[in-house]
Amino acid sequence: MLEIDGLTARYGRAQILNGVSLTLGDNEVVALLGRNGAGKSTTMKSVMGLVRQTGGSIRHGGQEIRGRASHTICRAGIGYVPEDRRIFGELTVEENLEVGRRPAREGAPQWTTEHLFQLFPNLAERRRNLGKQLSGGEQQMLTIARTLMGNPSLVLLDEPSEGIAPVIVEQMANVISELKREGLSVLISEQNLHFAREVSDRAYIIEKGTMRYEGKFSDLDANPEISTKYLAV
């Protein structure tokens, strides 16, 4: 589904990614773990074509997508949920969903507003409210729903559990399971090991723009020194 190989990227003069490699299989949920500033968001933005990548390759369904414009990457079936949500605050919930709407694509589940309102009942009640009037948790739901309106086959979820109430985190975990059941692949970046373990099949650990670990959660639990070294704050 997604193969990243030797990816390097920079902001201005600062090199942030020093050769990141990662693969994600069909219908797999994979966690990208790492401390604050490790390069998780930059990896996701690179896939979306939102930062300047300087080298390496990003292949999606066998096709090289590195260097393409971000709207074509989205149209290829990659949905992106940014960590800072980036809701359109002056648009209503329904209008936010409208911005994300894309035609149906083969090989990916098709979402409708009604279906998404079932998945996120809070949003249904607030469909005519402006984005900026929503709570943090509701905004997080809305960004995910907005991305799903594009009928992606792969979703990049950047820290979905960050800064929201525990009840909602639980709801978020259910949503991710639902996405997997629908046949989507998900790459999820997390600092919250507990949440990541609950929803994902495998994990990568990134530190200072370099991959340090790849494997199952069971191995990670068997070797606690790894998480202490790269994840503990």
Partner 1 sequence: MGFYLAQLLTGLANASSLFLIASGLSIIFGVTRIVNFAHGSFYMLGAYLAYTLVTTLQGGIPGYWFSVLAAAVLVGGIGLVVELTILRRIYRAPELFQLVATFGVVLIVQDATLAIWGAEDLLGPRAPGLDRAVRLMGEPIPEYDLALIAIGPAVLAAIWLVFHRTRWGVLVRAATQDREMVGALGVNQAWLFSAAFVLGSALAGLGGALQIPREAVSLQMDLSIIGEAFVVVVIGGMGSVTGAFVAAVLISVLNAFAILIFPQVSIVLPFVVMAAVLIVRPYGLFGRPGSEHGGAEEPEQPLRLLDQRSTMVLLALVAMLAFSPAVVSDFTTILLVDVMVATLFAVSLHFMMGIGGMVSFGHAAYFGVGAYAAAMAVKMLGWGMLPAMALGPVAAALAALFFGWFCVRLSGVYLAMLTMAAAQILWGVTFQWQEVTGGDDGILGVWPAEWAKSDRVYFYLALVLCLGGIWLLRRVAHSPFGYTLRGVRDSRIRAEAIGIDTRFHQWMGFTLAGTLAGLAGVVFVFSKGSVFPDALSIGHSIDGLIMVLLGGIHALAGPVYGAMAMVLIEDWVSRLDYWRFIFGGIILTVVLLAPDGIAGGVRRLIQLVRRDAA
Ligand X SMILES: Nc1ncnc2c1ncn2[C@@H]1O[C@H](COP(=O)(O)OP(=O)(O)O)[C@@H](O)[C@H]1O
CB of 130: closest distance to ligand X in angstroms? 27
Cβ-contact 155, 109 below 8 angstroms? no
Is there a contact between 196 and 203 (Cβ–Cβ < 8 Å)? Answer: yes
Contact (CB, 8 A) for 127 and 141: no
Q: Which is nearer to ligand X, 11 or 181 (CB)?
A: 11
Angle at 49 (CA atoms; ends 25, 175), nearest 5 degrees: 50
SS (H, E, C) 8-47: EEEECCEEEEEEEEEEECCCCEEEEECCCCCCHHHHHHHH
Tokens of 131: 């984005």
* Closer residue to Mg ion, CB minimum distance, 41 or 171: 41
65-124 residues near Mg ion, rule: CB under 5 A? 83
Binding of Mg ion by 42 (CB under 5 A): no
Nearest distance, CB of residue 26 and partner 1, angstroms: 21
111 binds partner 1 (CB under 8 A): no
Who's near 114: CB < 8 A, 6+ residues apart?
none
Which of Mg ion, ligand X, partner 1, none does residue 102 bind (CB under 5 to 8 Å by kind)? partner 1
* Minimum separation from the CB atom of position 43 to ligand X (A): 7
Phi, psi of 3 (to 5 degrees): -130, 115
Are 210 and 18 in contact by the 8 Å Cβ rule? The answer is yes
Question: By C-alpha distance, which of 83, 15, 17, 107 is closest to 56?
Answer: 17
160 sits near partner 1 (criterion: CB under 8 A): no
Among 3, 55, 59, 98, binds partner 1 (CB under 8 A): 98
Residue (95 or 198) nearer to partner 1, CB: 95
The span from the CA of 220 to the CA of 60, in Å, is: 28
Eight-state DSSP code of residue 132 = G
Could you say whether residue 41 binds Mg ion (CB under 5 A)? Answer: yes
39 binds ligand X (CB under 6 A): yes
161 touching Mg ion, by CB under 5 A: no
Is the distance from CB of 109 to CB of 183 less than 8 angstroms?
yes
Q: Does 53 sit near Mg ion (CB under 5 A)?
A: no
List 13, 14, 106, 225, residue binding ligand X (CB under 6 A) = 14
- Chain residues that interact with partner 1, rule: CB under 8 A: 11-13, 48, 50, 69-71, 74-75, 80, 82, 86, 88-91, 95-96, 98-102, 146-147, 150
Instruction: Point out which residues bind ligand X (CB under 6 A).
Output: 11, 14, 16, 34, 36-42
